Structure 1
Amino acid sequence: MPGCPLCSILEIHAKQKNVMSEDMVKDGYVDIMNIDISSVVVEMMRKKYAHVPQLKYMQMDVRDMNFFQDESFDCVIDKGTLDSLMCGTDAPLSVSQMLEEVNRLLRPGGIYMLITYGDPSVRIPHLNQAGCNWKIVLYIIPRPGFESRVGCSSAKSIMEPVPLTERGLLPAGFVLEDPDSHYIYVCKKMHGSFGGAPQIPNQVGATIAQ
């Protein structure tokens, strides 16, 4: 589970400024695997974090992660990888292959955290592809420094989930104040799950837009 420091975490896309992984180590997480398709980025990160044994790095294509056995991870974190695939050639196929792999690698009850600029109308259809059975909770986090209008009725804590309709869309009348907000889909693998609603880890809200 994401709230357990002993759980095994896979972060797909090893960014050169990986604030989230750094914060997770500070919070006590001890097993964080980072992968990236670029061998240059991976080697750079290995050198940068050679003194942090909790962080491991491998060069890998997210569409084919057969190096890892089934149900190897408790949590998979995706900050921008799916968005990148959506901009490439054969986008639907690439996204489908990646999500199949994520689903395969997660243990029952595990969490796939998708951090994206895509709203539910363009992300939920992919998440609900055949073979994936998720319980999805959505959070919307505005960019750093954004301030809601005084007295705005839609202002709420960023740690509160946003309700979705049965079709997986934002409710009618929902006002998105900041058009540059991040959408965070916390997707719990339901097959043989542990029970309980998926929640966003505490450190994510503080580092999400860095």
Structure 2
Amino acid sequence: MELPQLQVKQFSEQSYWDARHKGEALGYEWYRDYASLRPVLTRHLPRQEPILQLGVGTSAIQTDMVLRDSYTAVHSVDYSPVAIERLEAARVESASAQLQGALSYEVADMRALGRHEDGCFGGILDKGALDALLCGDNGEADAAAALREAWRLLAPGAAYLMITSASPRARLPVITGAGVPWASVLVYEVGQRGALAGPFEVRLGAASGGGGGGGGDVDGMLGGAVGRLPEMGYSHMCYACVKP
């Protein structure tokens, strides 16, 4: 069922998320949990490098990353102080020294993370955060700002991993239209009961200017298997955008 425009717009508003996170149970996962995303996450997010998670909400995926796969440093941000206060309290109260040492939280806007140095993260995870930004009146501009900031923070060769409900036709123009020259973009489709397809490589040469940062010819980028996605019922897309 398609949501009314007003209801969709609220996903871009901090006040909506503050109110929601007050009553939402910790561990609520948008789109997918760690088990279903694990093959993609562990391929593109190095365990021994500092990882940034954008728009954490009340997710527990960062906890699973540490406990199940020994990630050493996952820094999660959200512009909702309610969400961050609850997650930080849970971290402090945890009996796990591993979690206390590996997890950190910050109230911050993913469009402007200026206190962090260029190239300081070995990978970035975005599970629905950019989707929420795109619901606002200035969605395209906000998304472009967030993508440019993600690019700035990534180390050379590192990946920005976006989990979304949006098809390649809907999301590739956003990814390639922000003026960010990605070296490559790989697409995965995650379905039910562990189903996984990909990676499929996007033809970035079809974007205007011949690179990954110019928007460009969507039909050209959708050539091959990418253009047939999604092919599964109730699936989600994972876009791994790699910095040169």
Give TM-score, length-normalised by structure 2: 0.67
1:99–1:127 CA contact under 8 A, matched in 2: yes
Deviation at 1:21, TM superposition (A): 1.1
Q: Does 1:63 align with 2:63?
A: no
SS at match of 2:151: helix
Question: Counterparts of 1:48 and 1:40 in 2: how far apart (Å)?
Answer: 13
Question: Counterparts of 1:106 and 1:175 in 2: how far apart (Å)?
Answer: 27
After the TM superposition, which of the residue ranges 179-188 and 80-89 deviates more from structure 2? 179-188
After the TM superposition, which of the residue ranges 172-181 and 68-77 deviates more from structure 2? 172-181
Q: In the TM superposition, what are the counterparts of 1:32-181 in structure 2 within 5 Å?
A: 32-50=74-92, 51=94, 52-53=99-100, 54-129=102-177, 130-142=179-191, 144-145=192-193, 158=196, 160-164=198-202, 166=206, 167-169=220-222, 171=224, 174=228, 176-181=230-235
Provide the residue aligned with 2:70 in structure 1. 28
Deviation at 1:164, TM superposition (A): 4.2
CA change 1:104–1:128 in 2 (3 A) is same
Question: Counterparts of 2:123 and 2:229 in 1: how far apart (Å)?
Answer: 30
Of the two structures, which has the highest relative contact order with CA contacts closer than 8 Å and spacing of 6 or more?
A: 1
CA change 1:134–1:126 in 2 (3 A) is farther
1:10–1:75 CA contact under 8 A, matched in 2: yes
Question: Counterparts of 1:82 and 1:58 in 2: how far apart (Å)?
Answer: 18
2:45–2:123 CA contact under 8 A, matched in 1: no
SS at match of 2:184: strand
Unaligned runs of 5+ in 2: 1-42, 207-219
CA change 1:3–1:78 in 2 (3 A) is closer
What amino acid sits opposite 2:236 in the alignment? Answer: H
What amino acid sits opposite 1:117 in the alignment? Answer: S
Deviation at 1:168, TM superposition (A): 2.1
Provide the residue aligned with 1:7 in structure 2. 49
SS at match of 1:161: strand
Question: Counterparts of 1:35 and 1:21 in 2: how far apart (Å)?
Answer: 11
Aligned structure 1 segments of 4 or more residues deviating by more than 6 angstroms: none
Provide the residue aligned with 1:204 in structure 2. none
1:137–1:162 CA contact under 8 A, matched in 2: yes
Paired positions, count: 178
More helix by share: 2
Deviation at 1:160, TM superposition (A): 3.0
Unaligned runs of 5+ in 1: 147-156, 191-210
Question: Counterparts of 2:239 and 2:189 in 1: how far apart (Å)?
Answer: 9
CA change 1:134–1:124 in 2 (3 A) is farther
